[in-house]
Amino acid sequence: MKALSVKEIKTELNQRSQSELVELCLHLSKFKKENKELLTYLLFESDHEEGYIQSVKEEIDLLFEEINTQSFYFIKKSIRKILRRLKTYIRYSKQKETEVELLLYFCTKLKHFSPSIKKSTILKNLYHRELLAIQKKVTKLHEDLQYDYQLEIVKLESL
């Protein structure tokens, strides 16, 4: 089965009644955890972005605590998993400020992680790549926010 374009889906959704739309959303939420998470964000957390950011930060903290520090192989795999999950949460929000805030928090956690990521070239490269991505995103924000975030980036660049 070939998926239709977003325009065609939107046209079809506009022709459905409210009760049919509710049924479609519930049906969609049963198939993938990601769909359910997105609906949860849209329905309950999109109006409270600060609370959403705080809950994601708490989850990042927990995930960093669970990292197996026996070898850099396991550390690398875990950190990539955390970053993948974080980017999913960022996609739900679609707000640049939220994206920058969460990525800065991730980089801060990574910088202060023990054992130090300085011993792993792969982790250092991942860290620097994320900092570059943050810098690009910051340039698209309001000037006041740019200044605040640039100060944080400068602190993080001294690895």
Q: For the segment 85-100, what is each residue's pLDDT rounded down to a tens digit? A: 999 999 999 899 999 9
Q: Are 103 and 144 in contact (CB under 8 A)?
A: no
Calculate mean pLDDT across residues 131-145: 91
Q: Using alpha carbons only, how large is the chain's radius of gyration in Å?
A: 19
CB burial of residue 147 (10 Å; 0-12, 13-18, 19+): exposed
Tokens (6 digits) for 96: 């640049």
The length of the chain is 159
pLDDT at 49 over 80: yes
Q: What is the pLDDT of residues 103-134, one digit of tens each?
A: 999 999 999 999 889 989 999 999 999 999 99
What's the whole-model pTM score? 0.87
Distance CA 124, CA 156 (A): 12
Residue with tokens 């009760």: 19
